[in-house]
Structure formats: structure tokens, C-alpha cells
Amino acid sequence: MISFFNTCFVLCTVFAGQKDVEEYKKKCAARDRASLVYRGKEVQIRRMITEQQQAIEYEEDQKRRALDTLACGDVDEYVKDCKKRRRLSLAQRAKESRHHQQWRRKEAQESREAKARHTRNMGVDRRYVELAKEKERARIALDALRHAKCTFSTSNPFGSLLE
């Protein structure tokens, strides 16, 4: 009986040990599953946080690009405005230059015309002065002839003109 008892005890012990091993394996498997589930959830949370951060960064990048685009548009508009103002300034200066050139030509023409009038008037004046001098000499000569008490006044064919 002892041997049966020993065998039974050994078998019971082996059977109890197998049960413990099986329970231990189950506990380990449950722990591993729980660990895997926990790590899966952590990875999922990290992935969601990363996706949220990427979405926020993407939105900020889009806003930054929109601002850059608007800034470039403003710069282009400013450059166009500067070019337009420069062009208008050049056109205004060219117009003023043409106006001054016209004014100088007009002044030069008026000056030439005034000199020509002056020269012509001087010539006319000289002629009238010469005529006036000639008339004065003729008058003086006639007066001298009238008062000279000349006897040839009757025989002079121009005597009637002299009186």
C-alpha cells in the first residue's frame, strides 16, 4: 500500500504541479494579453497625439503660406505702384522739359522778332531823320535865299517857289 500511496501521491503531486503550471501559463498569457492591449492603447494614444500635432502644424503651415502669399501679393502691388509713380514722374518731368523747350524757343523767336523790328525801325528812323535833316537844310537854304536880298530873284525860275 505504501507503494500505491506513493504512486498516488506522486501522481497527485505531478497532477497538482501540472495544474499549477497550467494556471501559471494562463496567468502569464492573461498578463501578456493585458500588456499587449495596454501597449496597443498607448501606441494608439501616441499616434493620435502625433496626428493631432501634425494636423495643428499643417494648419499653421497653411496659415503661414497664406500670409506669405498675401505678403508677396502686397510686395508685388507695392512694386507696381512704385514703377507707376516713377513712370508718371518721368512723364511729368519730360512734359515739363518739353514745355521749357517750347518756352525757350518762343522766347528766342520773340527776341529775334523784336531785334528785327528794332533794326527795321532804326532803318526807318534813320531815313526819316535824313529826310528831316534834308528838309531842315532846304528850309535853311530857302530862308537864306529869301533874306539875302538877291537881285536874281526875279530872274530865278524857281522864285515863285521860294516865296
Please check whether residue 143 lies inside any domain of the structure: no
Given the C-alpha cell 503550471, which residue does it identify?
A: 21
Determine the structural domain holding residue 7 and report its residue range: 2-124
Please check whether residue 156 lies inside any domain of the structure: no
Beta-carbon-side half-sphere exposure of residue 9 (alpha carbons within 13 Å): 6
Please check whether residue 6 lies inside any domain of the structure: yes
Please check whether residue 144 lies inside any domain of the structure: no
Contact 160, 142 (CB under 8 A): no
Contact 145, 162 (CB under 8 A): yes
Please check whether residue 30 lies inside any domain of the structure: yes
Please check whether residue 132 lies inside any domain of the structure: no
Cell numbers describing residue 93 = 518731368
Q: How confident is the model at residue 1 (pLDDT cuts 50, 70, 90)?
A: very low
Amino acid occupying residue 122: M
Q: Which positions ≥6 away from 142 have C-beta within 8 Å?
A: 162
Please check whether residue 147 lies inside any domain of the structure: no
**Measured distance CA(79)–CA(123) in Å, rounded:** 65
* pLDDT at residue number 97: 93
Model confidence, pTM: 0.40
Segment 52-57 shows an average pLDDT of 96
Give how many domains the chain has, as a whole number: 1
Contact 146, 163 (CB under 8 A): yes
| pLDDT at residue 6 greater than cutoff 80 | no
Please check whether residue 17 lies inside any domain of the structure: yes
Residues 102-157 pLDDT 10s: 999 999 999 999 999 999 888 888 888 898 889 988 888 887 777 666 555 556 65
* pLDDT at residue number 116: 92
Say how many Å lie between the first and final Cα of the chain, rounded: 209
Task: Give the burial class of 104: count Cβ atoms within 10 A of its Cβ; 0-12 exposed, 13-18 middle, 19 or more buried.
Answer: exposed
Residues 7-40 pLDDT 10s: 665 556 666 667 778 888 889 999 988 888 999 9
* pLDDT at residue number 113: 95
Residues 58-72 pLDDT 10s: 999 999 999 999 999
* pLDDT at residue number 110: 95
